[in-house]
């Protein structure tokens, strides 16, 4: 196991295949947000219905991610990281092909739920595998490359949407997944997982995360540090068209374009944060830097856009994306917090718990905008609450830079 790790660098086959997997994952995950308006228009919905039903469909997708994260995480520790990488991509590729045939909102919501179930396994299993195969000195950079390169899938999804019918966009996503299955044949299983299989310890017991107070604290904090990401993407960027109207921006905002700009920023941020973490020799200090950038662009989002231009919205979306480029380190920390017998369970459920909390964030946003009577006010109060939770969680969580991952949870 030690020799294998020494032979692997940050551009080795497992890293590149994990990055390509996350590329397809992000393409499929963000595709609904990019083609939400034209697809729901074609299904006969009004502008108001598009907003309300769009939130409903997104909630179905994120609920699928939440439940799928638990299923794939447990499977990853019981059957191996590769079983998840193969099974999850098969499910979400099939779901995306079916998405090209939906005829009403009810079908749309349930197929996105199935896609969410499949998409839940991709990132956690990939990051777990890379974390265990790459030497700890290079781990942060390797996982950042996986996330950074993978996140360009959102940019590609936007340009695909510009040139193809929305149903064809879903077919392309499904096809990319099938192609990726063939590439995965060359990837081998983690040596740490093979070693832990020989031990008489529980593997993939999801409830172990809750049995000890200290372990549950690690798990909860691992989730909460990522919460600001999906407020930014799931609310501010996905519904930028609606925010543009409320801010009296004359030119209609293309939500798909906002997502494209945001994910271009996230991709750059995700690659850069790995090097920032290496420079500081700290995951937490890198998080603080990127939280500050996120907060700055959130302030700009709510203060400089009234009667502004669409390009202002897109540039600020890119800045918000860059700030939330801490996603790579957040997921890496989720893997580094836990022993080998629970690592896939934690690393797969943590990001999907964050994604699955988006419906709660949307509910908070809806409550606050109804209570205050103002769409914008509800949004910035929600943002303050979410950012505060993330900062407090980062203060309390353990530093994991340079941690040896060859340990187990008792």
The tens digit of pLDDT for each residue in 148-172 reads 888 888 888 888 988 999 999 999 9
406 inside domain: no
Tokens 């022993």, residue located: 339
pLDDT: which is higher, 398 or 192: 398
Residue-range definition of the domain harbouring residue 247: 2-184+204-396
Cα angle 247, 253, 259 (rounded to 5 degrees) comes to 115
What are the pLDDT digits (tens) for 48-61?
888 889 889 988 99
Mean pLDDT calculated for residue range 109-125 = 90
Residue 267: closest CA among 131, 154, 134, 347: 154
Binning pLDDT at 50, 70 and 90, where does residue 344 land?
A: confident
Other Cβ atoms less than 10 A from the Cβ of 174: the count is 20
What is the four-CA torsion angle of 288, 289, 290, 296, rounded to 10 degrees?
100
* pLDDT score for 219: 94
Share of the chain above pLDDT 90, in %: 41
Residue 5 has pLDDT above 50, yes or no: no
* pLDDT score for 80: 77
Other Cβ atoms less than 10 A from the Cβ of 176: the count is 20
258 inside domain: yes
The token pair at 335 is: 């893997």
Least confidently predicted of 22-31, 295-304, 320-329:
22-31
pLDDT: which is higher, 305 or 31: 31
195 inside domain: no
* pLDDT score for 305: 66
Tokens 């996120």, residue located: 294
Residue 238 C-alpha from the chain's centroid: 14
Q: What is the number of H-type helices and E-type strands within the chain?
A: 21, 0
Least confidently predicted of 96-100, 198-202, 297-301, 324-328:
198-202
Least confidently predicted of 37-41, 174-178, 202-206:
202-206
The token pair at 297 is: 């662009």
Mean pLDDT calculated for residue range 283-290 = 96
- The span from the CA of 188 to the CA of 18, in Å, is 12
Could you tell me the CATH number of the domain that includes residue 355?
Answer: 1.20.1250.20
What is the four-CA torsion angle of 137, 140, 146, 148, rounded to 10 degrees?
-130
The token pair at 45 is: 């919905």
Binning pLDDT at 50, 70 and 90, where does residue 4 land?
A: very low
* pLDDT score for 169: 94
Total domains in the chain come to 1
257 inside domain: yes
Binning pLDDT at 50, 70 and 90, where does residue 193 land?
A: low
Mean pLDDT calculated for residue range 376-403 = 95
| HSE-up (13 A, CA, CB side) for residue 365 | 21
408 inside domain: no
193 inside domain: no
Residue 134 has pLDDT above 90, yes or no: no
Q: List % helix, strand, coil for the chain (3-state, nearest 5).
A: 80, 0, 20
Residue 7 has pLDDT above 60, yes or no: no
What are the pLDDT digits (tens) for 200-251?
677 768 888 898 999 999 999 999 999 999 899 989 998 898 999 999 888 8
Residue 95 has pLDDT above 90, yes or no: yes
Residue 277: closest CA among 125, 142, 126: 142
- What is the pLDDT of the chain when averaged over all its residues? 87
- The span from the CA of 24 to the CA of 405, in Å, is 28
The pair phi, psi for residue 60, each rounded to 5°, is -60, -45
Residue 2 has pLDDT above 60, yes or no: no
């Amino acid at each position: 196991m030690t020799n294998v790790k020494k032979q692997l660098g940050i551009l080795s086959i497992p890293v590149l295949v994990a990055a390509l997997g996350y590329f397809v994952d992000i393409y499929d995950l963000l595709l609904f947000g990019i083609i939400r308006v034209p697809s729901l228009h074609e299904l006969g919905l009004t502008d108001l219905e598009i907003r309300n039903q769009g939130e409903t469909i997104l909630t179905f997708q994120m609920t699928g991610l939440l439940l799928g994260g638990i299923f794939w995480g447990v499977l990853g520790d019981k059957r191996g990281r590769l079983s998840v990488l193969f099974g999850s991509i098969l499910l979400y590729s099939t779901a995306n092909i079916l998405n090209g045939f939906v005829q009403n909102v009810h079908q749309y919501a349930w197929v996105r739920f199935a896609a969410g179930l499949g998409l839940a396994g991709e990132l956690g299993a990939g990051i777990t595998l890379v974390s265990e195969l790459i030497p700890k000195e290079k781990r942060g950079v390797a996982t950042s490359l996986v996330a950074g390169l993978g996140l360009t899938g959102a940019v590609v999804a936007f340009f695909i949407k510009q040139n193809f019918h929305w149903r064809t966009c879903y077919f392309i996503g499904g096809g990319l997944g099938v192609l990726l299955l063939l590439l995965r044949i060359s990837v081998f299983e983690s040596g740490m997982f093979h070693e832990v299989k020989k031990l008489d310890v529980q593997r993939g017991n999801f409830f172990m995360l809750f049995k000890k107070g200290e372990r549950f604290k690690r798990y909860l904090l691992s989730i909460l540090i990522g919460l600001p990401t999906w407020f930014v993407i799931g609310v501010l960027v996905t519904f930028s068209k609606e925010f543009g109207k409320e801010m009296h921006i004359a030119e209609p905002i293309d939500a798909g374009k906002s997502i494209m700009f945001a994910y271009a920023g996230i991709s750059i941020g995700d690659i850069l944060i790995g090097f920032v973490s290496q420079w500081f020799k700290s995951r937490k200090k890198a998080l603080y830097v990127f939280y500050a950038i996120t907060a700055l662009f959130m302030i700009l989002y709510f203060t400089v856009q009234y009667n502004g231009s669409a390009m202002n919205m897109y540039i600020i979306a890119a800045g918000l994306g860059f700030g939330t480029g801490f996603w790579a380190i957040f997921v890496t920390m989720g893997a580094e917090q836990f022993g080998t017998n629970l690592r896939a369970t934690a690393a797969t459920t943590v990001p999907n718990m964050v994604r699955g909390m988006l419906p709660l964030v949307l509910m908070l946003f809806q409550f606050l905008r109804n209570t205050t009577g103002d769409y914008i006010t509800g949004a910035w109060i929600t943002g303050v609450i979410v950012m505060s939770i993330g900062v407090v969680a980062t203060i309390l969580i353990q530093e994991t830079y340079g941690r040896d991952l060859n340990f187990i949870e008792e």
